[in-house]
Amino acid sequence: MTMTEKILFKQGGISIFTDEIDDDKRIETIKSRIKEMFNMKNINFLFGSGTSVGAIPTMNGLYDSVVTRLKSHKEYLIEFENIEKRIKNKKNLEDILGILYSYRIYQKNNFDEKENEKNDELKKCSGLIDIIEDQIFNEINIKINDIKYQSYLNLYQTFYLKLALRNKDLSRLNIFTTNNDLFNEYALDSVNIHYINGFSRGINRYFNPALFNYTYSKRMDTSIEKFEPVENMVYLYKIHGSINWIEDNTNSNSFFNIKEINEPKREKDIENILIYPTPTKQNKSLGSPYVELFREFQKKLLEPHSILFVIGYSFSDEHVNNIIYQALATNSTINLVIFGEINNKVVEIADNRIINIFGEYKGEKINYFSYIVNNLLPNIDAFKSQDNLLSEFINSIKVK
C-alpha cells in the first residue's frame, strides 16, 4: 500500500484502484462488489479470533493473564519461565504449550503406569498444562449477556439479521469459525434464527455430523405434503470445538461421545472439546469431532459457485489453510475474499478469484468485523425484498 492509498481492494495480487480514485468512491465500489458477490449460490464465512477481539483476549492478552495466574504458583511460574528462555519467540503461548504437550507425551510413553504415579516431572508438567488451559478457558468463557459485552453481541446479531434471511432458492449461509466462544449461538438465539451445529435437539444433545445434511422446512399447504425450506436458518461449524462441548460416554445410542451443554464448565474428570492454541493443533484436529467438521468445510468449498469470506483470521492454522488451498486448486468456480492485511502467499497469487480488502477510512479499519458488518455487508433480507416488490407494484397501479 502506497502512502496515498489508504484503502485497497486487491484482486489477483493487484489493486483495482488507480491513484485518482478518492476514498469515498473506493468504499462505494467495495460495497457494490460485495453486494454482487451475494448473488452466488453458496455463501461461506470463516471467522477467526478477530471477530471477537475486545471481548476475548488476543494471544498476547492470554499470555499476560496466564503469567498473572502463575504468580500465585511459584513452582509452575519458574518452569514456565525456563521454557520461555529456550524458545525463539517471546510471549508465545502457542510454542510454550506445544513444548509442554510434547514433554508430557514423552514422560507418559517412557515410563509404565506405576512409575508415572511417582513421576514428579510428569506431575509438574501436567499441573502447569492444567493451569494454562484453565486460564484460557476462563478467558473465553465470558458472561455474554453482561452489559459490557453488549456491543459485541449486537455486532453478531446485526450480521445475522443482514445475511441469514436469504432467498429460499439459494443455499443457506455456512459459518465456519475457529473461535470457541458462544457469541454466534447467543446472537442466533436472540434474533430467532434457526441453526444447525451438528448436535441433536432435546435435553441431551449429542454430536451427529449427519445433521449437517438436514434443513428446516415448512409446509406450504396443509392439504398436501409439500414443503419449502425456511429462510431464517444457518449452518454453524465450530471447527476448533467449543467451550460448551464435553466428552460424555453415558449415551450408548450415540456413535460420538461429544455432548453439548448449556452452561460451559471445566471439571477434573470432564474433558472439554476445544483445541487450545498450539503448533500441534493440526494433529489434534485429525480426531473426532474435528475430522468430521473439517470434512464439512472441505465439502462446502468444493461446491460449484461458492464464495468464502474470511474475517478476523490470520492464516495461522495450516489445516484450515490447506483446505482453502485445495479448494482453490480443484474448484474453478470458488471465490475467496480475505478481509485484512495478512502475511500469506495466497493474497499475492495472480488469480482473479482471490480478493484482499483492507485499509482505513475516516479513522476506522475497513477490514475489522465491526466496520464490515455495519458498513460493507448488504442487507439481503428476502422478506424485505418481497415487501419492496409489493410496494413497487402498488405504486405502479396508483400511477396508472
* Domain stops at, among 72, 107, 140: 140
* Domain stops at, among 140, 165, 193: 140
Containing structural domain, residue 246: 38-55+147-333+368-389
Is 43 found in the same domain as 66?
Answer: no
Q: Report how far residue 69's alpha carbon sits from residue 63's, in angstroms, rounded to the nearest whole number.
A: 10
- Tell me the mean pLDDT in the region 340-354: 92
Give the pLDDT score at 375: 97
Quote the pTM value. 0.89
Is 78 found in the same domain as 90?
Answer: yes
Is 244 found in the same domain as 323?
Answer: yes
Q: Report how far residue 396's alpha carbon sits from residue 389's, in angstroms, rounded to the nearest whole number.
A: 11
Give the pLDDT score at 283: 58
Q: Which three cell numbers stand for residue 78?
A: 519458574
Q: Given a cut of 70, is residue 398 above it in pLDDT?
A: no
Is 382 found in the same domain as 243?
Answer: yes
Residue 111 lies in a domain: yes
Q: Please, are residues 324 and 341 in contact by the beta-carbon 8 Å criterion?
A: no
- pLDDT band per the 50, 70, 90 thresholds, residue 3: very low
Q: Which three cell numbers stand for residue 169?
A: 432458492
- pLDDT band per the 50, 70, 90 thresholds, residue 19: confident
Q: What's the alpha-carbon Rg for the chain, to the nearest Å?
A: 24
* Domain stops at, among 140, 172, 194: 140
pLDDT per position as a tens digit, 290-324: 999 999 999 999 999 999 999 999 998 899 999 99
Is 131 found in the same domain as 272?
Answer: no
Residue 397 lies in a domain: no
Is 48 found in the same domain as 68?
Answer: no
Q: Hey, how many other C-beta atoms are within 10 angstroms of the C-beta on 373?
A: 21
Residue 24 lies in a domain: no
> What does each C-alpha distance from 197 to 113, 134, 152, 239, 362 come to in angstroms?
38, 25, 21, 10, 38
Is 112 found in the same domain as 169?
Answer: no
Q: Which three cell numbers stand for residue 325?
A: 488451498
Is 221 found in the same domain as 100?
Answer: no
- Residue 329 CA to its chain's centroid (Å): 23
Q: Please, are residues 12 and 354 in contact by the beta-carbon 8 Å criterion?
A: yes
Q: What is the 3-state secondary structure (H, E, C) of 293-359?
A: HHHHHHHHHCCCCEEEEEECCCCCCHHHHHHHHHHHHHCCCCEEEEECCCCCHHHHCCCCCEEEEEE
Reference 282, options 98, 125, 129; nearest CA is 98
Is 182 found in the same domain as 133?
Answer: no
Residue 3 lies in a domain: no
Task: State the residue for C-alpha cell 465470558.
Answer: 142
| DSSP H or E segment with residue 360 | strand 354-361
The mean predicted confidence, pLDDT, of the chain is: 89
Residue 90 lies in a domain: yes
- Residue 200 CA to its chain's centroid (Å): 21
DSSP 8-state class, residue 52: G
- pLDDT band per the 50, 70, 90 thresholds, residue 280: low
Number of domains in the chain: 2
Is 124 found in the same domain as 84?
Answer: yes
Q: Report how far residue 162's alpha carbon sits from residue 377's, in angstroms, rounded to the nearest whole number.
A: 8
Is 312 found in the same domain as 224?
Answer: yes
Pure H helices in 86-144: 93-110, 113-117, 120-140
Is 50 found in the same domain as 180?
Answer: yes
* SS3 category, 23: helix
Give the pLDDT score at 284: 58
Q: Which three cell numbers stand for residue 258?
A: 461429544
Q: Report how far residue 283's alpha carbon sits from residue 98's, in angstroms, rounded to the nearest whole number.
A: 11
Residue 398 lies in a domain: no
Give the pLDDT score at 359: 96
DSSP 8-state class, residue 378: -
Residue 17 lies in a domain: no
Q: Please, are residues 313 and 47 in contact by the beta-carbon 8 Å criterion?
A: yes
pLDDT per position as a tens digit, 169-223: 889 999 999 999 999 999 999 999 999 999 998 888 999 999 999 998 888 777 7
Residue 4 lies in a domain: no
> What does each C-alpha distance from 145 to 55, 164, 183, 262 come to in angstroms?
12, 22, 10, 14
